[in-house]
């Protein structure tokens, strides 16, 4: 009997392989750094998220883990000096989490040792974004995309950017980062 793989199944196979390979490389880097996989995942997230998303809740949603397990991981990586917590300037009941110099160096080492040079791959970002959008939409998941391509990002006439959701100005750096409130255009 002959089995036929639908196109969707083929995509899933390659996504699973890519994901497994990525996780394997991060696990290897985590072992070298003397931390667990989840600790490096948190540091990686904090290195790319924006000021609206660097919270325990944001990390929990992004990694798909409970807030209590994330809280335990945050305690550990704060103790070893990779992160610092500061009260949120807008809401004193919550904390924002920032990478320390040690945390940034850890992420830099991980990326240098585990990320391949993809400069010759071509423009595949659009296809990956389409797959991600469909997956998130179907499962009612948060977007976590870059501000520069967000529905809420406004390009101002005088130059610069503004978040249409919060009405706050955004810098060039801000629009390169990911946000938990991201909405696909």
More confident residue, 118 or 166: 166
Res. 104 pLDDT band, cuts 50 70 90: very high
Q: What is the pLDDT of residue 5?
A: 52
Mean pLDDT to the nearest integer, 48-75: 95
Dump pLDDT digits (tens) for 143-157: 889 999 999 999 998
Task: Write down all domains in the chain, each with its CATH number in brackets.
Answer: 7-116 (1.10.10.10)
Report pTM.
0.83
* 17 vs 105: CA distance, rounded Å: 28
What is the pLDDT confidence band of residue 129, given thresholds at 50, 70 and 90?
confident
Q: Which of 145, 168, 141 is nearest to 53 (CA)?
A: 145
Residue with the bigger pLDDT between 17 and 3: it is: 17
CA atoms of 39 and 22, how far apart (whole Å): 15
Please give the residue that has the higher pLDDT: either 61 or 144: 61
For residue 3, what pLDDT is reported? 52
- Count CB atoms within 10 A of the CB of residue 132: 16
| Residue 161 predicted with pLDDT over 80 | yes
CA separation for the pair 9, 45 (Å, rounded): 28
Select the more confidently predicted residue: 95 or 124: 95
């Amino acid at each position: 009997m002959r089995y036929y793989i639908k196109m969707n199944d083929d995509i899933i196979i390659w996504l699973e392989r890519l994901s497994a390979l990525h996780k394997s490389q991060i696990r290897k880097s985590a072992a070298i750094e003397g931390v667990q996989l989840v600790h490096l995942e948190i540091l990686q997230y904090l290195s790319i998220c924006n000021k609206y998303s660097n919270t325990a809740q944001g990390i929990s949603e992004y990694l798909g883990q409970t807030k209590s397990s994330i809280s335990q991981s945050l305690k550990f990586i704060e103790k070893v000096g990779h992160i610092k917590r500061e009260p949120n300037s807008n809401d004193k009941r919550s904390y924002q989490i920032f990478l320390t110099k040690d945390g940034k160096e850890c992420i830099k080492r991980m990326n240098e040792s585990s990320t391949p040079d993809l400069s010759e791959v071509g423009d595949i970002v659009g296809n990956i974004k389409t797959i991600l959008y469909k997956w998130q939409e179907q499962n009612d998941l948060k977007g976590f995309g870059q501000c520069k391509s967000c529905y809420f990002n406004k390009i101002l006439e005088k130059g610069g950017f503004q978040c249409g959701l919060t009405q706050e100005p955004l810098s060039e750096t801000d629009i390169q980062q990911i946000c938990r409130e991201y909405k696909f255009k």
